[in-house]
Amino acid sequence: MPDDEFAALVSQSLRLAPASAGANLTGFALDLAHALEQRAMFSGVRVKKTGDQRCMLRATCIAQPAVDVTALLLHIWEDDLRYAAYAARRVIRHGQTTELAFVTRSDRPDPLCVTGLISVAQPDAGQLG
């Protein structure tokens, strides 16, 4: 999905539901960290709140070589993180880094919108200490 198309989906979602904040955003951040930490092929998981509504959370970690990072991120997104009411994501590969940008909205009675980016570095086997 092109950058501008994804940005439009984020803007639309933020118009339809308030940005998550406080305990709700902290809860999603904890769920995100837990979902990544549960996979033995990820290490160094960090999740931070950014203060930017267009990317409220930024998660980073390192994947073991030979892991299909894209497939694993999509599995985590679909099974563990996204809200059922609405979700969109975009996966981009930059060299040895795979990124999954996301936006998701919860259902009523209290809809909320969460946006973020998961960035996974994957060194070659020869680059590991």
State the pTM of this model. 0.92
Neighbours of 51 (CB within 10 A): 7
The domain ranges of the chain are 3-127
d(CA 73, CA 35): 10
Looking at residue 125, what is its pLDDT?
59
Sort residue 62 into left (φ over 0), alpha (ψ -120 to 50) or beta: beta
Q: How sure is the predictor about 124, in pLDDT bands with cuts at 50, 70 and 90?
A: confident
Q: For the chain, what percent of residues have pLDDT higher than 90?
A: 86
Question: If you classify domain 3-127 with CATH, what class do you get?
Answer: alpha beta
- Give how far Cα 87 sits from Cα of 13, 54, 69, 108, Å: 9, 14, 20, 15
